[in-house]
Chains A and B, each alone.
Chain A
Amino acid sequence: MTTPPLVELDPTSGLTHRETPRAAGLLRRFARHRLALVGLALLVGLVLFCYLGPLLYVTDQVHTDLGAARLAPGSAGHPLGTDDLGYDTLGRLMVAGQVSLLIGVVAGLIATALGALWGAVAGYVGGWLDLVLMRVVDAGVAIPALFLLLVAATLVTPNTWVLALVIGGVSWLVPARLMRAETVTLRERDYVRALRVVGGGRARAVFRHILPNAIGTVVVAATFQIADAILLVAYVSFLGLGLQPPATDWGGMLSKGITYTYDSSWWLILPPGIAIVLVVCAFNFVGDGLRDAFEVRGRDR
């Protein structure tokens, strides 16, 4: 059949007006999300506070000083007061923050990696393996994290890395479910089917197509997972299963402060509590922004 030349002749004429490279588009959509920017700013601030702070505001967080115990804020040299062992609260907030952030990030990443792999295998292979793997996830969700943490605490003495590992090992279930759902969708995309037609193998499908296209889901899951991991760290310390003194984290500071609930020593409770709320909020804001940025659906609505 013959047709007169029409719209499509010029190969560049069909370019959509969204010509910005992917990364730039991603950034632009992220930057439009106001809460995400707030979250990012908060995060940068908190990281600077925890890691640069101790360089500018030097305190002794190793030796106790019972003579200067539970000084109220504003006491000489202690703008946020001291705790029951004489540690400066502001300085302690910084070191504890390093631990909380580190454990949270590492645990969040472990949980995401483990879960993503588990879910991708279940989703892509399908069939019986899928059924079995996902029932294990169901069972894991049904067992209270508290129980698993208690068992872990009897098995090992907690240090920073052990805690990160344990918390990561307890919280990989949600990313596994997410990743499975994503894989099941991606598996039936036409470009994966086209690969199967010409005889392409599973490894190529998973590593060249499914994982790269699930990257958005994984990144977003990781962000939320870090937020949840930080909450879980605090929870673990609150249960008394946390780090050995003098090391501590925000949860540990808070649980010590609980002892003084009725003594109006508010400076032992509020600062670490607020720090936890801020950092968890920040990660959740960023995660929300990333989700909007990655999600193709309803991009400009």
Chain B
Amino acid sequence: MWRVVLRRLLLAAVVVFLVSLITFLLLHLLPGGPARGVLGPEATPQQIEQFNHDHGFDQPVHVQYWDYLTRLLRGDLGASYTLNSPVGTLLAQRLPRTLLLTVASTLLAILVALPLGVAQAVRRNSRFDYLATGLTFVLYATPVFFLSLLLIIVFTQLWPVFPAQAAQGESIGELLSQPRSLVLPVIAGAGATVAAFSRYARASVVDNLAEDYVRTARAKGTPERVILWRHVWRNSLTSVVAMLGYYVPVIFGGALVVESMFNYPGVGLLLWNAARTSDYPVLLGVVLVIAVATVVGSLLADLAQLLIDPRVRTAQSSRAKGAGRS
């Protein structure tokens, strides 16, 4: 089992490296470089040349990347061109806020989606199931910014109960001190996830209900309620947990939009502003952080499966069995 874990860790590291390479190359192959965007339209050719020299843009690309990589390995993400601050500091400020948003909306999504999916599976092909299926499809098809817009119109205009702007604070504490301002962003972030998770949970429970061991449990007189929760649900949980891990990039993608809709001061807004000002170090830093989160997500999903499923947990003996089959 430890070999499996080690191998996964190694592959994850390779993926993160690939991400840094791809994003770096993409940015540095763009014509013109960031100077014009950073210095503004009135910059003189001398200023631009000075900028390019200062930031190493006059060097060959592989030298630049090697520089970037060695600094990265020391934990140095560089400094923002425009914000007068190291990228690390900026991320340390913004990342907790984005995590607050994503974790809260994912929790909300789970709380709604899983019971819904299980209920649909139990009463599959009933009118309730069709209705819920239709609704989840609609929710999935609603672009995050449109959903945000609808929430803003309904809950700040027609029935003004929540603020449309997130609290603007330096710390997490300030955000939390105005919980009402978090409600709409969290709901908007949860929308598409609810749809995907409930579909997934439904399919998984339906599959497991058709398994042989469910029939065995029924044949020995196990109450349906126990079959559902003790047998089926635990088996479905394995795949639902895996799904959760692989869903990290989607959740982050949603958060980036939500942040710009509600002016929520997280990494999404940071990325957005960095793109507008050609602030390459910030751009690279944010992308790398999201990539790491994605990789860690799928890594955790795999590990969670290892922990839940005794077949994987005691892989040594089962491997021997599987190999024995001719």
Contacts and interface: CB of A to CB of B under 8 A. Distances in A.
B61 to A, nearest CB: 15
Given A136-B18, A139-B19, A143-B287, A277 B146 contact: yes
A276 B143 contact: yes
Given A144-B249, A254-B146, A280 B141 contact: yes
B47 interface: no
B138 A281 contact: yes
Contacts of B249: 141-142, 144
A277 B153 contact: no
A235 B257 contact: yes
A139 B153 CA distance: 38
Contacts of B30: 151, 154-155
B194 to A, nearest CB: 15
Contacts of A135: 11, 14-15, 18
Interface stretch (B176-184, B212-220, B290-298, B318-326): B290-298
A80 interface: no
Contacts of A136: 18
Contacts of A278: 141
Interface stretch (A8-16, A200-208, A258-266): A258-266
Interface string B4-26: 00000001001110110011001
B107 interface: no
Given A35-B134, A135-B15, A254-B146, A146 B141 contact: no
B173 to A, nearest CB: 28
Contacts of A261: 149, 152-153, 157
Contacts of B27: 151
Interface string B21-39: 0110011001100000000
Contacts of A140: 22
Contact of B15 (A139, A255, A301): A139
A231 to B, nearest CB: 6
A103 interface: no
B18 A238 contact: no
Interface in B125-146: 130, 133-134, 137-138, 140-143, 145-146
B143 A139 contact: no
A254 B143 CA distance: 11
Nearest to B248: A142
A276 B16 CA distance: 35
Nearest to B20: A139
Interface string A258-295: 10011010100100010011101100110000000000
Nearest to A151: B26
Contacts of A144: 249, 252-253, 256, 271, 287, 290
Interface string A10-39: 000000000000000000000000110000
A142 B15 contact: yes
A261 B18 CA distance: 41
Contacts of A284: 137, 140-141
A298 interface: yes
Contacts of B153: 261, 266, 269
B73 interface: no
Contacts of B253: 144-146
A222 interface: no
B271 A139 contact: no
A243 interface: no
Contacts of B23: 143, 147
Most central of B27, B137, B157 by chain A CB within 10 Å: B137
Contacts of A95: none
Contacts of B14: 135
A235 B252 contact: no
A60 interface: no
A235 B145 contact: yes
Nearest to A298: B210
B211 to A, nearest CB: 12
Interface in A126-162: 135-136, 138-148, 150-151, 154-155
A285 B146 contact: no
Nearest to A276: B143
A231 B295 contact: no
Nearest to A141: B249
Contacts of A138: 11, 15, 18, 295, 298
19 contacts: A34-B130, A35-B130, A138-B15, A138-B18, A139-B15, A140-B22, A142-B249, A142-B291, A143-B19, A144-B287, A147-B271, A147-B287, A148-B26, A238-B257, A254-B149, A262-B157, A281-B141, A284-B140, A284-B141
- 3 A-B pairs with least C-beta separation: A280-B141, A142-B291, A139-B18
Interface of B: 11, 14-16, 18-19, 22-23, 26-27, 30-31, 130, 133-134, 137-138, 140-143, 145-146, 149-150, 152-153, 157, 210, 249, 252-253, 256-257, 271, 275, 283, 287, 290-292, 294-295, 298
